[in-house]
């Protein structure tokens, strides 16, 4: 006789199984929602209909279901009781917490259920044929088995299918599909622990809610011809798949959290109109698509969690540079780079489908965001096999050593991508640290936020950095004064205000008139910087809160300059001087001058024009013809239009 209900196969002398499951535990933690959104949307993108130009649509909907509406949860209560009966006083703490939590959830009148449904997808094939290689069997009938739907997919329904279980207080997930030729099926899977069934026999830990024919030993999903009220709650008329998480544990701010996870991991797919995501709960509805992306990133602009993603999004949509390269095929990798003083130095790798694989950084002083997208099918297929279960990096060691040729090709390909990105950063920003320098660490003690700089107070950093400081020169102007700090002799931190200190008195100020900036109207390239020519321009000396200049690599003549103006300036020019021991200054010849990753025109030692914003640190990198340690003095002028 056929019956629909939970069935945990008999243990039959096999090894008893506890609740701990490393395949589920790997998805828990702070990135739980990220992992869930990544797995759901990744599998949906992999299952995109081949003949459709429309994007994949994934709908997340939270419902509250009556726990006494049908027998699904009543039967599961009996399974929990059977688990207690089997383990009794020997139940470990992990299993005890789970069973107590599941029993508490079932005592509530309502239970939260998150349904993730995709559309414009293939659905799951094999629910009737039961072929081992089918996507249905990989998802519902096997462990550690994945099915590749295309060369750019990361493998569908392998270990990643456990992510939804990590979000369920009942460790229970249902699957519903409508596939090709109207092939429809519904089944539930629960991952518990060895328990005693109704015949008092110990079972395996994984059970299914299905059609059970014990007499003929036939077990099948619930098909349309089978009557089942719970299945009818999730009937669908469009091709695709539903993943139904019973006892969803992450209900607090879930719409915001899933939205952020989708933005961080799929902004490329969404921008390229490969993916649309909807989120629903009652009357609340949110749409994440190509049109809403800019506003959504703006809405989360104050969220620290989203800062790197927002910078990467800007790099992808409005890059300073976009290039392509050859790894295994022509143009199989694209790189987008954008620079800004507020950026975190992040490089993000994306799959061809538009999903983030992982992020890392390169140790350079310039702040940047870079997006790397693998476009080629051969490279995508190769790198797919280098991704671990969470698909969060490329690691050639994921390929078995027995496949030495493929492993070597993966290692070389990853290294070539890495080298190419580094070379792009070098060529654009010019300044790269030596291998022995931790640029990120140096940045902590040489901050771009220059409030309070100038040696006027003692810092509170754990690491006290010895620096060489010179006299502080103050140049009064109509707007205020500018401060110049030179490099002279090794000193120590001094508490309090050092102005007019007996060990370092301020010199008597001697204002000097600003030098005129005279562009050459006959020069064919008017952006070449300050020029010599006839005529005069009105100039002023900008008012700065603070400024500093320090060497990055004196052997290469490379220095970093940071200023913070009190006003915005549109035509700022910077001259650099080396201060000798006798106090005299010599103009320095520039070889290059960059600002926000862009080369700035210069003539001799004067670079400009430059546009800077009030109260925002502006960071410049200068390479001088002189390759030695120097103490610098800066002279800034603004051409008044």
Return the CATH number at 135.
3.30.565
* Shared-domain flag, residues 505 and 613: yes
Has residue 491 got a pLDDT over 70?
no
Q: What is the pLDDT of residue 466?
A: 38
Q: Provide the pLDDT confidence category of residue 228 given band limits of 50, 70 and 90.
A: very high
**At which residue do the structure tokens 């890059």 appear?**
319
- Which of 378, 408, 429 marks a domain boundary? 429
* Shared-domain flag, residues 308 and 288: no
Q: Does residue 445 form part of some domain?
A: no
Average pLDDT, integer, range 22-49: 80
Distance of CA 457 to the CA centre of its chain: 37
Q: What is the pLDDT of residue 552?
A: 80
Q: How far apart are CA 85 and CA 91, in angstroms?
A: 10
What pTM was estimated for this model as a whole?
0.69
Q: Does residue 462 form part of some domain?
A: no
Q: Provide the pLDDT confidence category of residue 637 given band limits of 50, 70 and 90.
A: confident
Q: What is the pLDDT of residue 506?
A: 52
Average pLDDT, integer, range 180-195: 94
* Shared-domain flag, residues 383 and 486: no
Q: How far apart are CA 641 and CA 451, in angstroms?
A: 29
* Shared-domain flag, residues 250 and 354: no
Q: What is the pLDDT of residue 19?
A: 81
Q: pLDDT digit string (tens) for 363-384? A: 777 889 999 999 999 999 999 8
Q: What is the pLDDT of residue 272?
A: 97
Q: pLDDT digit string (tens) for 546-575? A: 788 878 877 788 888 888 888 888 889 999
Has residue 281 got a pLDDT over 90?
yes
* Shared-domain flag, residues 315 and 409: yes
Domain count along the chain:
3
* Shared-domain flag, residues 257 and 319: no
Helix then strand count (H, E) for the chain reads 12, 30
Has residue 599 got a pLDDT over 70?
yes
Q: Provide the pLDDT confidence category of residue 269 given band limits of 50, 70 and 90.
A: very high
CA 432 vs CA 44, 397, 450: distances in Å: 41, 28, 22
**At which residue do the structure tokens 């997340």 appear?**
60
Q: pLDDT digit string (tens) for 305-361? A: 999 999 999 999 999 999 999 999 999 999 999 998 889 899 999 999 999 999 998
* Shared-domain flag, residues 390 and 403: yes
- CA torsion sign for 501, 504, 510, 511 is negative
Q: pLDDT digit string (tens) for 133-152? A: 888 998 888 775 555 544 44
Has residue 531 got a pLDDT over 60?
no
* Shared-domain flag, residues 380 and 484: no
Q: Per the structure block, which two tokens stand in for 29? A: 């933690």
Q: Does residue 183 form part of some domain?
A: yes
* Shared-domain flag, residues 25 and 155: yes
Average pLDDT, integer, range 573-579: 88
Q: pLDDT digit string (tens) for 54-108? A: 999 999 999 999 988 778 999 999 999 999 999 998 998 889 999 999 999 999 9
Has residue 25 got a pLDDT over 70?
no
Q: Per the structure block, which two tokens stand in for 386? A: 């280098």
- Which of 298, 328, 343 marks a domain boundary? 298
Residue 383 belongs to what domain range? Answer: 301-429
* Shared-domain flag, residues 36 and 77: yes
- Which of 283, 298, 313 marks a domain boundary? 298
Q: pLDDT digit string (tens) for 401-446? A: 999 999 999 999 999 999 999 999 888 765 444 333 333 333 333 4
**Nearest residue to 228 via CA among 280, 180, 184:** 184
Has residue 473 got a pLDDT over 50?
no
* Shared-domain flag, residues 309 and 291: no
* Shared-domain flag, residues 262 and 314: no
Torsions phi, psi of 231, nearest 5? Answer: -60, -40
Q: What is the pLDDT of residue 604?
A: 75
């Amino acid at each position: 006789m056929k019956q629909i209900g939970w069935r945990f196969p008999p243990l039959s002398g096999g090894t008893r199984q506890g609740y701990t499951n490393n395949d589920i535990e790997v998805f828990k933690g702070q990135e739980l929602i990220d992992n869930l959104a990544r797995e759901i949307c990744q599998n949906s993108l992999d299952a995109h209909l081949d003949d459709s130009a429309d994007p994949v649509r994934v709908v997340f909907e939270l419902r509250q279901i009556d726990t006494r509406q049908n027998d699904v949860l009543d039967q599961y209560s009996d399974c929990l009781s059977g688990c207690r009966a089997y383990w009794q006083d020997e139940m470990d703490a992990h299993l005890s917490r789970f069973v107590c939590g599941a029993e508490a959830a079932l005592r509530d009148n309502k239970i939260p259920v998150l349904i993730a449904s995709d559309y414009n997808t293939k659905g799951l094939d094999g629910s009737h044929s039961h072929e081992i290689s089918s996507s249905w069997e990989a998802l519902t009938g096997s462990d550690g088995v994945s099915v590749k739907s295309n060369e750019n997919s990361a493998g569908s329904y392998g270990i990643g299918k456990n992510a939804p279980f990590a979000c369920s207080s009942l460790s229970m997930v249902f699957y519903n599909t409508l596939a090709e030729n109207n092939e429809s099926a519904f089944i539930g899977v629960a991952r518990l622990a060895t328990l005693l069934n109704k015949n008092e026999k110990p079972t395996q830990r994984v059970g299914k809610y299905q059609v059970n024919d014990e007499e003929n030993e036939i077990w099948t999903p619930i098909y349309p011809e089978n009557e089942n009220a719970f299945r009818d709650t999730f009937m669908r008329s469009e091709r695709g798949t539903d993943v139904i998480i019973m006892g969803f544990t992450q209900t607090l701010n879930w719409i915001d959290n899933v939205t952020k996870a989708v933005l961080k991991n799929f902004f490329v797919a969404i921008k390229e109109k490969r993916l649309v995501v909807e989120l629903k709960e009652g009357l609340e509805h949110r749409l994440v698509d190509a049109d809403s992306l800019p506003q959504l990133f703006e809405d989360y602009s104050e969220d620290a969690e989203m800062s790197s993603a927002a910078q990467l999004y800007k790099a992808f949509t409005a890059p300073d540079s976009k290039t392509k390269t050859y790894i295994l095929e022509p143009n199989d990798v694209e790189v987008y780079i954008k620079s800004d003083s507020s950026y975190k130095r992040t490089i993000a790798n994306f799959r061809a489908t538009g999903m983030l694989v992982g992020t890392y950084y390169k140790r350079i002083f310039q702040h940047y965001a870079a997006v790397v997208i693998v476009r080629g099918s051969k490279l995508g297929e190769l790198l797919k096999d280098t991704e671990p279960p969470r698909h969060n990096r490329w690691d050639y060691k994921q390929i078995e050593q027995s496949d030495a040729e493929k492993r070597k090709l993966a290692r070389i390909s990853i290294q070539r991508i890495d080298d190419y990105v580094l070379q792009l950063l070098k060529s654009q920003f010019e300044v790269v640290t030596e291998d022995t320098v931790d640029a990120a660490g140096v940045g902590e003690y040489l901050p771009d936020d220059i409030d309070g700089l100038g040696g006027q107070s003692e810092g509170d950093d754990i690491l006290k950095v010895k620096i060489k400081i010179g006299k502080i020169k103050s140049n009064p102007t109509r707007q205020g004064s500018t401060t110049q700090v030179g490099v002279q002799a090794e000193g120590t931190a001094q508490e309090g205000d050092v102005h007019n200190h007996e060990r370092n008195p301020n010199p008597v100020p001697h204002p000097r008139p600003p030098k005129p900036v005279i562009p050459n109207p006959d020069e064919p390239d008017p952006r070449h910087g300050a020029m010599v020519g006839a005529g005069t321009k009105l100039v002023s000396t900008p008012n700065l809160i603070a400024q500093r200049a320090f060497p990055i690599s004196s052997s290469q003549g490379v220095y970093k300059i940071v200023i913070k103006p009190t006003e915005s300036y549109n035509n700022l020019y910077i001259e650099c001087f080396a201060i000798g021991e006798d106090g005299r200054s010599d103009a320095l010849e520039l070889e290059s001058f960059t600002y926000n990753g862009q080369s700035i025109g210069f003539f001799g030692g004067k670079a400009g024009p430059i546009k800077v914003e009030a109260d925002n640190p502006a960071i410049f990198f200068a390479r001088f013809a002189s390759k030695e340690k120097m103490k610098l003095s800066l002279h800034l002028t603004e051409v008044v239009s």
